[in-house]
Amino acid sequence: MPPTRILVLRGGALGDFIVTLPALQLLRRVWPAAPITLVGNARAAALGQTAGVIDRVCSQSEARWSALYASPPLPSAFADELAAFDLVLNFWPDPDGELARHFPRHPAQRFLTAPSHPAVAPAAAHYCAALHPLGLTADSFRFPLGSPSPDARLVAVHPGSGSPRKNWPLDRWHALCLRLREIAPTEFLIVTGDAEPDPGALANFGRHAHALPLPQLVAALRECRLFLGHDSGISHLAAACGVPCVLLFGPTDPAVWSPPGEHVHALRRGSDLSTITVDDVLAAARPRLIRAPLAPPSLRPSKLL
């Protein structure tokens, strides 16, 4: 019997959610009539609602969900809510099986769990592989959230990430922007997130987009002909918008964490990003300053943000 209601438990930040989108798309494509509820990062998951692969979002910060890591029994109302789903897919950390012992809630409920951290490359393949026991196989590990405007002019620079270890020195970003302006007149969009430091002198190169709501950030990225950044959620967002990307990697593996697609170039010289030079990035960025063609129709979304 096909599922009639699906629950997906998926935590993490923006990039963690984006690499789960191909798996959600697969569920939606095979069972279009089954409502999908996702418990996780509500801000990021709103992208999935807009794109049509999620019907309902619950924040992972709601206190009731912590009961899944407590000893049974669950509060009766919460237990009844969980029992209403006939497919539960878990990507939350559960090393000791504390969460799994609460499922299935009844004989007809199917419960699948997979490690929260990817074990295969690219990361999206890991989450799609969790659906194999259902007989589902993905034919793509990309989920497009948009495509660049035909008149895109800006070069986006995101000098931060979720960890200082994944960041290129700020003075090199400054030197790179100067070099890019020597090649051709360049308008920059300097992107920063909530927890990231002030970009300093980089803000003088153009518009500074700080902690924008995600729909506004998507709209801004669609006006970019090139994106320069690190291993970050915003980099995954730019790639999902079809923007040609040059991404600098150090301690994390680009085979796993770089967004898939020919429009993405991952640059790595070892675990320390300081070994990447301005000339290295310039060499990767220069040919991508020429306007790239839009993604082929098969990769364009039916619904844009």
Query: Which pLDDT value is given to residue 292?
Result: 44
* Angle at the Cα of 78 from the Cα atoms of 105 and 85, rounded to 5 degrees: 45
pLDDT at res. 252: 96
Instruction: Measure the CA–CA gap between 279 and 208, rounded to whole angstroms.
Output: 25
Phi, psi of 185 (to 5 degrees): -55, 125
Q: What percent of the chain has pLDDT over 90?
A: 85
Give the whole-angstrom CA distance, residue 296 versus residue 22.
Answer: 18
- Contact (Cβ atoms closer than 8 angstroms) between residue 92 and residue 9: yes
Q: Supply the pLDDT for residue 156.
A: 97
This prediction has a pTM of 0.92
d(CA 17, CA 41): 8
Q: Where are the domains of the chain?
A: 6-134, 154-299
- The ranges of the chain with pLDDT < 50 are 291-305
Closest CA to 209 of 230, 228, 190, 184: 190
pLDDT of residue 290: 63
The CATH code of domain 6-134 reads 3.40.50
Which CATH fold topology does 154-299 show?
Rossmann fold (3.40.50)
